[in-house]
Amino acid sequence: SSLWWVKLSVQPCRALVDEKFKVLVQKAPPGAQLTVRSHHHSENKHEWEAFGHYICDSTGPRGTYEGVEPMGLLWSLRPVPGSKPGLRLRKMNVETPMEVTVSVYQGHLSEDFSEQRALAAVVVERWYMAPGVRRIPVTEHDTMLCSGPGRFPAVLDLWGGGGNLMEYRASLLASHGFAALVLDYLTNELTKTTGKMMENDYFEVAFKFLEQHPQIVGSRIAMWGLSFGTAMTLKMAVYSNVIKLRCAVCYSGSHIQPVDGSVKDIKEYMGKENIRVTENQEVIFRDLTLPVPKDPAFKVDMGRLQCPLQVVVGLDDQSWPAYESAMDVMMEEAGNSHLLTLLTYPHTGHLIEPPYSPYVRTSILRPFPVKVLWGGETAAHSRAQEDAWRKTLLFLREHLYDMRNSAVTSKSNL
């Protein structure tokens, strides 16, 4: 059959990654069957796609996501058939956008898109860095991101056990008016070449750097930890005599650890006992620190916490006993339970990323390398990412800027 002419628009076609877009297909004949597809060629040379099926002037799409939800073209992106297994999409170079091609095809297609001719296509730019955000290398394993001139509250950003200098969350925080210092405290050159792990004072030095920096309001500093990063965040928030936080954020983590331990001690404590493997050879780490110990030497004394804390938990986290840990956090007796904000999300896994990040149920975790089961279900996990990010920005704004009930607005004019 002959191809129709259709008009496709995606608005805005250039935006921050946490901003929504709208997809509009016009001029197609009523009742026409269409496929809307997104395609991304990643920095590490892998192909990702998502698609939905539509009938013009009616609803009822079918594809990698369900419902008339344009952002599903991002959060349901997955490697194209035949790709290497265990892939995870993460932006390495924050100074360039993630480019996604949104295309419309005639008919309801589910494969072989490269062999079909698109009716229309638009390239969409998704940025972590808003205009004016600067990337400032501090050392070979620390990077600061800051939004132009002026003085800003700051966030010390700690990722999890996979290591590497991951700057995309810090860049997005800087785009919303928070300076951020991201640390590679596990896989930096010193550790890789000598085997020597970072000591606890490394985090204190990073905090002092922020506290004394001319562009930072030294009394308004937070820490944000994900996974293993929560262990160091909670340890420093409670026990450090140097680090005095205005607030802290912990995603998918736990207070279970040797209280007097270093990074090396915590890793050794987790060991390899209680690791489960599924029939698909996916590793489940969540039992490593279970059952929750009764010995106070192996739990951060949360009753001593003196700053507001937001804890985000996916109830299907297969990598860390985040829910069991949250239920064990005894703050009522100490009288500081008012400091805790707990957000729990059903059908949500371990990797709670910025909004519209592609959901990954399993992926290869380097440097081990093993295929890890993270947990979660695509739509529910994606909704949790969006909700948690919005509430975390509000939490940071409230405690670092003293702004209560303020709407989260983007600083970008992309």
Averaged pLDDT for residues 155-170? 88
- Asked if pLDDT for residue 342 goes beyond 60, the answer is yes
Cβ contacts of 102 within 8 Å, gap of 6 or more: 8, 10, 23, 36, 37, 38, 73, 121, 122, 123, 124
Say if residue 355's pLDDT is above 90. yes
Give the mean pLDDT of 152-176.
91
pLDDT exceeds cutoff 70 at 376: yes
Say whether pLDDT at 44 is over 80.
yes
Residue of 93 and 29 predicted with greater confidence: 93
Q: Compute the CA torsion angle 225, 226, 230, 232 (nearest 10 deg).
A: -60
What is the rounded average pLDDT for all residues in the chain?
90
Q: How far apart are CA 21 and CA 356, in angstroms?
A: 11
161: nearest Cα among 372, 315, 389 = 372
Overall average pLDDT of the 153-161 stretch: 92
Residues 83-110: tens digit of each pLDDT: 999 999 999 999 999 999 999 999 999 9
Task: Scan for tokens 């204190």, then name that residue.
Answer: 204
Average pLDDT over residues 350-366: 94
412 has a pLDDT exceeding 50: no
Model confidence band, residue 186 (pLDDT cutoffs 50, 70, 90): confident
Lowest mean pLDDT: which of 176-185, 228-237, 248-257, 401-410?
401-410
| Residues with catalytic roles | 227, 317, 350
Q: Tell me the pTM.
A: 0.92
What pLDDT is recorded for position 23? 92
Residue 274's pLDDT is what?
84
- The pLDDT tens digits for 322-339 are 999 999 987 877 889 999
Q: How confident is the model at residue 374 (pLDDT cuts 50, 70, 90)?
A: very high
pLDDT > 80? residue 39: yes
CA distance 409 to 404: 14
Percentage above 90 pLDDT, the chain: 71
205-223 pLDDT tens trace: 999 999 999 999 999 999 9
Average pLDDT over residues 381-401: 97
pLDDT-derived band at 231, boundaries 50, 70, 90? very high
13 or 197: whose pLDDT is higher? 13
175 vs 142, higher pLDDT:
175
* Contact by Cβ (8 Å): 386, 48: no
Please state, in angstroms and rounded to a whole number, the distance separating the CA atoms of residues 203 and 288.
25
Sign of CA dihedral 251, 126, 165, 287: positive
Q: How far from chain centre, in Å, is Cα 280? A: 25
For residues 270 and 368, is the Cβ–Cβ distance under 8 A? no
Is 410 a residue whose pLDDT tops 50? no
pLDDT category at 126 given cuts 50, 70, 90 is very high
How does residue 390 score in pLDDT terms, banded at 50, 70 and 90? very high
pLDDT higher than threshold 70 for residue 318: yes
The token pair at 17 is: 């990654």
pLDDT band of 367, cuts 50, 70, 90: low
Q: Is the pLDDT of residue 184 over 60?
A: yes
Pairing of strands 362-365, 142-147: unpaired
Q: How many CB atoms lie within 10 A of CB 360?
A: 23
Asked if the bond preceding 149 is cis, omega within 30° of 0, the reply is no
Q: Which tokens in the block code for residue 258?
A: 């040797």
> Looking at the predicted structure, is the pLDDT value of residue 67 above 70?
no
Per-residue pLDDT band for 2 (boundaries 50, 70, 90) equals low
Lowest mean pLDDT across 62-66, 73-77, 148-152, 222-226: 62-66
Residue 60 has pLDDT above 50, yes or no: no
